[in-house]
Amino acid sequence: MSALALIIEDDEDLAQIFAEALRGVGFKVESVVDGQTAQERLKKGPVPYLILLDMHIPHISGGDLLTNIIRKDKQLSKVIVIITTADARMGEAYTELADFVMIKPISFIQLRDLTSRLKPKE
Amino acid sequence: MSLLNRFLTVPTTDPDDTRRRRILNILVVSVGLVILLTLLASFAMILLKVESWGNLSLLVISCIVGIFAMLATYLMNTFWSGRVAAIVFLVFFNLVLAFSDTPEELSVGRSLFYFVIPIIMASILLAPWSSFIFSSISSIIISVIAASIGSVPNIPAISGFFVVALVSWLSARSLEHALKELRAINANLDQVVIDRTQALAESLQRERVEAGRNQAILNSIADGVVVFDRKWNAILANPALKSMLDLPIELIVNKNFRDLIEHPRLSPRSRGLLYAMMEHDTQPPSFRIEWGRKTLSISAAQVYGNSADGNTNLGTVTVFRDFTREAEVEKLKSTFVAIVSHELRTPLNAILGYAEMFKESVYGPMNDKQINMAERIMKNTQRLLGLINDLLDQAQMEAGKLTVQMAPFKPADLLENIHGVMDQLVHEKGLRLTSEIEDNLPEIINGDAARLQQILVNLVNNAVKFTDHGTVHVRLFCPHASRWGFEVADTGRGIPESELPYIFDTFRQVEGPTTRAHGGFGLGLSIVKQLVSLMDGEIRVKSKVDRGSTFTINLPLVIPETDTEKRRTP
């Protein structure tokens, strides 16, 4: 059974590209487009193996999601979090809380290579 | 007493005629009084029966005639001619004398000396020389009187009269000369005083006009102007400053600058800048402060004046300009650029991602031509993204928002990454990219790895762009314990010497905008230079046309205490 990756990204095209990259290395992919939906999704439903979190999303910011939900919830403690942002300084600010920081523009190949290294060993 | 005093005072500055009239009046009144007293005494004696009316009738009548004569003389002297009045008085006086005693006594006896009186009077009342006329008249009178009693004229007395006339003439003349000179001096003095007063009034007027004009100029300047003395006390401020700071003028003028700096409306950073301005003689030409919601630009200039010991500092003129709107526009501009850049980057990221998916044959196998096309899309998108990054960096730098984040990193990674990024491009152009690292450079140092990488990519990219054959060489070095740096040397076409001073300017390329053969905004080197200065480093360039260019960056070397490495990608 393949591991679940949750993509939290408001740009449809980027979400699709990220999804293809993750599917390509064998993840099962689920996408949400805003902070509010992401928060609700994280509270119920299966725990993802990996979260790809955009910092600039509507309603609840990626930073708030990371600080107040993901890193506070015991069930989510083992989730690998990759944050994506166009703002290098924002990335800098969350290096402690995130496992990886990717600065936009994010390359399909780069994301694919990174996640293929991270996926659980079969 | 003062009335008598005033009556007897003869001002020396009066003209001769006025002075003589005054003296005549004094004499007329005095003689009149004597006659009046004589008349009263005569009446008293008649009433007391000491003397009979018969003996005194002639005296009484003479006295009454005398009083009228004096009155007439006084009026004539006051309202008509002083000269005629004086002659009348003197003639009358002589007549009285001629009948004042017996002919014997008058010609040779006790009353002879009476005739000296009109001679002296004449020199004072008419003119100095008239003493001679009256000495002649007196001589004639006593001769006539002597003849009337059959005697010979009194020759010694007559010669005495002339001696008196001579003395009177001399003394009156010298008095008149002295007075004349005094009056001339006085007049001269008066003229001097008038001239001086006039000059003073004129210069005061000029000064008032000048001061008024300067004040008007100062008042009409839209910039706030305040003038400080050497101890930073405000001695002058214009209304524009008052409205700019929204403070009553009393809180500005005659106050020390420190009082203004401590005002709560000033931001702490601005306070620091203003104190720095006060303490250092050399200030930046202008700087900005925040006053409440306003942004003010300040420029200060020392005022020097010429004095005996050379140029002395008199104080400082400080000009405040309201920069609020400009600051807002600048902020708006950088916000605009930031938003636009961000909004451009997201779709470009999508284009890049889809192109990569093509290249990687995500949706099925692709032929070589298709893959090549996908690569071209990727390359162009990368270029566009690079340009947008430059614009964003430039906007952030202009807004003062760009900062460097110091963290431990491996300098060797810089070289590894530059090969990763550039090798393909270098290979495509048929060039070689070589690199070396000096042994004495520590393995881990402090720095902003991302920004250093950006600088290096920029320089190598430029080198590749302007080199057609040969090598681009990157060298990391450590000249001594407190500095490190890197240089990028190429064998390209070089930069003309005339262009070297400008290559770090924003939007500048060696070719003009219409003749440019190379893409880019011309922001690359400008950003490199600004980043290097943010890191307290310096950049130098050496170049020879057709021989190549070498860019050298020199940075402070800081070795981290513990080498805690963070996981960070890419």
User: Would the CB atoms of B360 and A105 count as touching at under 8 Å?
Assistant: no
Interface probe for B, chosen from A17, A96, A111 (most Cβ of B below 10 Å), is: A17
pLDDT band at B552 (very low <50, low <70, confident <90, very high): very high
Which one is predicted more confidently, B302 or B144?
B144
The pLDDT of residue B562 is: 60
H/E stretch holding B549 reads strand B548-556
Which one is predicted more confidently, B435 or B53?
B435
Determine the Cα–Cα distance for residues B403 and B535; give it in Å rounded to an integer.
Answer: 9
Residues of B in contact with A88 (CB under 8 A): 450
Q: Is A77 on the interface with B (CB under 8 A)?
A: no
- The strand pair at A28-32 and B407-409 is best described as unpaired
**0.80 exceeded by pTM:** no
Determine the Cα–Cα distance for residues A36 and A65; give it in Å rounded to an integer.
Answer: 9
User: Would the CB atoms of B570 and A110 count as touching at under 8 Å?
Assistant: yes
Residue B514 scores a pLDDT above 60: no
Which one is predicted more confidently, B510 or B351?
B351
Determine the Cα–Cα distance for residues B503 and B522; give it in Å rounded to an integer.
Answer: 9
Contact B161, B115 (CB under 8 A): yes
pLDDT band at B421 (very low <50, low <70, confident <90, very high): confident
Identify each DSSP E strand in B281-431 by its residue range: 287-291, 294-307, 310-322, 407-409
Determine the Cα–Cα distance for residues B570 and B567; give it in Å rounded to an integer.
Answer: 9
Angle (nearest 5°) at CA B259 between B253 and B261: 110
Average pLDDT of the segment spanning B468-482: 89
Determine the Cα–Cα distance for residues A21 and B363; give it in Å rounded to an integer.
Answer: 12
pLDDT band at B282 (very low <50, low <70, confident <90, very high): low
The pLDDT of residue B550 is: 92
Residue B311 scores a pLDDT above 80: no
CA-to-CA separations, B313 to B236, B253, B273, B317, B489, in angstroms, rounded = 17, 20, 21, 11, 50
User: Would the CB atoms of A11 and B342 count as touching at under 8 Å?
Assistant: no
Any bridge partners for residue A7, and if so which? Answer: A31, A52
Determine the Cα–Cα distance for residues B204 and B200; give it in Å rounded to an integer.
Answer: 6
User: Would the CB atoms of B349 and A105 count as touching at under 8 Å?
Assistant: yes
Contacts by B540-548, CB closer than 8 A, 24 or more apart: B541/B495, B541/B500, B541/B503, B543/B494, B543/B495, B543/B497, B543/B500, B544/B494, B545/B493, B545/B494, B545/B495, B545/B496, B545/B497, B546/B493, B546/B494, B547/B491, B547/B494, B548/B467, B548/B470, B548/B489, B548/B490, B548/B491, B548/B492, B548/B494
ipTM of the complex: 0.90
User: Would the CB atoms of A14 and B349 count as touching at under 8 Å?
Assistant: yes
Percent of chain B with pLDDT over 90: 21
Determine the Cα–Cα distance for residues B225 and B239; give it in Å rounded to an integer.
Answer: 8
The pLDDT of residue B487 is: 92
Give A36-63 pLDDT, tens digit per residue: 999 999 888 899 999 999 988 888 888 8
Determine the Cα–Cα distance for residues A109 and A25; give it in Å rounded to an integer.
Answer: 11
User: Would the CB atoms of A92 and B405 count as touching at under 8 Å?
Assistant: yes
Determine the Cα–Cα distance for residues B369 and B228; give it in Å rounded to an integer.
Answer: 76
Among candidate residues B7, B3, B51, B50, the one with its CA nearest the CA of residue B32: B7
Contact B73, B88 (CB under 8 A): yes
Residue B513 scores a pLDDT above 70: no
Q: Which residue of A has its CA nearest to B338?
A: A87
Q: What is the dihedral of CA A105, A108, A109, A115, to 10 degrees?
A: 100
Among candidate residues A118, A117, A23, the one with its CA nearest the CA of residue B357: A23
| Single-letter code of the amino acid located at B149 | I
Residue B564 scores a pLDDT above 50: no
Determine the Cα–Cα distance for residues A17 and A28; give it in Å rounded to an integer.
Answer: 14
pLDDT band at B563 (very low <50, low <70, confident <90, very high): very low
Q: Is A102 on the interface with B (CB under 8 A)?
A: yes
Give B148-175 pLDDT, tens digit per residue: 888 888 888 899 999 999 999 999 999 8
For residue B442, cis peptide bond before it (omega within 30 degrees of 0): no
**Residue tagged 């940075």 (tokens):** B555
Residues of A in contact with B403 (CB under 8 A): 89
Give B523-548 pLDDT, tens digit per residue: 788 888 888 988 889 999 888 888 88
User: Would the CB atoms of A105 and B385 count as touching at under 8 Å?
Assistant: yes
Cα B454 to chain center, whole Å? 52
Q: Is A58 on the interface with B (CB under 8 A)?
A: no
The pLDDT of residue A1 is: 66
Among candidate residues B315, B311, B455, B339, the one with its CA nearest the CA of residue B396: B339
Give how far B570 is from chain A: nearest CA, Å.
7
User: Would the CB atoms of B353 and A106 count as touching at under 8 Å?
Assistant: yes
Give B230-244 pLDDT, tens digit per residue: 888 988 888 888 888
Residues of A in contact with B346 (CB under 8 A): 11, 14, 86, 104
DSSP designation for A107: P
Give how far B324 is from chain A: nearest CA, Å.
28
Determine the Cα–Cα distance for residues B543 and A60; give it in Å rounded to an integer.
Answer: 53
Residues of B in contact with A107 (CB under 8 A): 352-353, 356
Task: Note which residues in 10-39 of chain A have CB less than 8 A from chain B.
Answer: 11, 13-14, 17-18, 20, 24
